[in-house]
Amino acid sequence: MMKKTVLATAILTLSQLPTALAPVAAEEVSTERHKVSINTLASGLSHPWGMTFLPSGDLLITERGGDLHKVSLDGTISDPIKNVPEVVAERQGGLLDVTLDPDFANNNMIYLSYSEAAQDGGTGNSTAVARAELAGDSLQNVEVIFRGVPKYESNAHFGSRLVFSPEGHLFITLGDRYSAMDDAQLLDNHHGKVVRIWPDGSVPEDNPFVDRDDALDTIWSYGHRNVQGAAIHPQTGELWISEHGPKGGDEINISLAGENYGWPEATYGVDYDGTIISKKTHLEGAKQPHYYWVPSIATSDIIFYTGDKFPDWQGDLFVAALRGSHVARIDLEGERVMHEETLFDEAIGKRIRDIEQGPDGYIYVITDQPKDAELIQIKPAN
C-alpha cells in the first residue's frame, strides 16, 4: 500500500479546472506521540476518491466525476488522463479507487474501480474493475477484469477499494447497494462482498466457494455493508477492511476466506431514521467486528503505518473518517487494539476520503469536497 515543508502555490496548466492556492504556512499539531506539520500541497480537486503513488513520486488521483489526474507534490494537477472507462457518476457512484500493478515498473499497468452501467441495454449498474497500461497522458489496452453482478438500480454503496495481497491476488471490496442489503447474506451475487481474483480477472483455485454451485467463485468473504477501506497487515499478510455501518456500527474487520461478517442480520447500528435493522449484534456462525464505532465516524480508507518518519506510530492502523472529519489512530500490539486517538480534526476539519503512506514515509490524505478539495501532507514538525 505505498501509496517539502513549504506550501507552494499550486502550479497548474492553463487548461486545468483547479485554481492555484495562495501560499499558506504549514500548521504544527501536537499528538500523543509525535508533533507533526500539516501542509496543503494542492487544491482544486472535485470529490477525489482514490490515490496511489507512482515511482516518480507523483500521485494518481481519481475524481468521482470520472477524471484521473497526475498530481505532483509541488501542487501541479495534470489535465485528465485520456481513455478512462465511462462511469455512472451519480451520488456515490463514479470513478473510485486506483492502484498500481505490483510489477508496474515493468508493465505500467494500473487498476481502476468504478460504477458501470449495464452493457447490454439493460438497466442498473454495478462496481467494475478495469486494468490498463499508463502511457503518458493516456490509458492504453483498457480491459475490464471484473463486473459485479447483478446490475442493480441504485446509486449507493459501491464500495470500493483495491489492494494486492503479498501473493499477488487482487482484492476488490464492494457494497451492499443499500436497498439490496439482504443480498449480503446470499452467495449468488456480489452485494456486500469482498472479491479475490488474479490480476487478469481469473479465479484463484483456492477461493473458498469455487466448488459450490450455489455461490460465485470470486467471493472471498461476505456479510459486509459498504467496504471503503482495505489494507494488508504488514506482519500477517491478512486483509483488514473498514466498512460503513448505518447510524452507528462502523467496523474494522479482518477479512478471512469464506467468513460471514453478519450484515444485515447483526449490527451495532440502527437505520438513519432510528428504526431497528436487527436486534442482534451477534449472529451464530458469523465473525464479530475486530473493532467498531458507535456513533459512526463514516470510515473511508485505512493504512498500516510502516515508515521510519514516525517511529512511535509504526504498526498502528490509521483510519480516515468522512463524517468525523479526522483520522483515527488505532494503537495496535500485533492485532490487539490498545487505544484510539483522534487526529487532525481541528487542523484539517474536512471529510477525509483517502489516506496513504508515501514512499518518503510521510502520510498523505485527500479531502472530499465538490471543489477545492485538497491533497495534504503530514510530516514530522522538525
153 CB-contact burial (10 Å; exposed 0-12 / middle 13-18 / buried 19+): exposed
Q: Which amino acid is at 236?
A: T
353 CB-contact burial (10 Å; exposed 0-12 / middle 13-18 / buried 19+): buried
Q: Which residues, in sequence order, are bridge partners of residue 304?
A: 317
3-state DSSP call for residue 313?
A: helix
Asked whether 280 and 333 are in contact (CB, 8 A), the reply is no
User: Has 157 been annotated as catalytic?
Assistant: yes
Q: What is the DSSP string of 85-107?
A: PP---STT-SEEEEEE-TTHHHH
- d(CA 7, CA 21) in angstroms, rounded, equals 9
DSSP-based helix, strand, coil % in the chain, nearest 5: 5, 40, 55
How many CA within 13 A on the CB side of residue 207?
A: 24
Say which DSSP state 152 is in: B
Please choose, from the candidates 304, 306, 259, the residue with its C-alpha nearest in 3D space to the C-alpha of residue 285: 259
Q: Which residues contact 335 (CB under 8 A, 6 or more apart)?
A: 233, 236, 254, 290
* Grid coordinates given for 330: 488505532
How many CA within 13 A on the CB side of residue 355?
A: 30
Q: Which amino acid is at 57?
A: G
Selecting among 47, 157, 190, 224, the annotated active-site residue is: 157
235 CB-contact burial (10 Å; exposed 0-12 / middle 13-18 / buried 19+): exposed
Q: What angle do CA 235, 359, 162 make, to 5 degrees?
A: 65
User: Which residues belong to the active site?
Assistant: 157
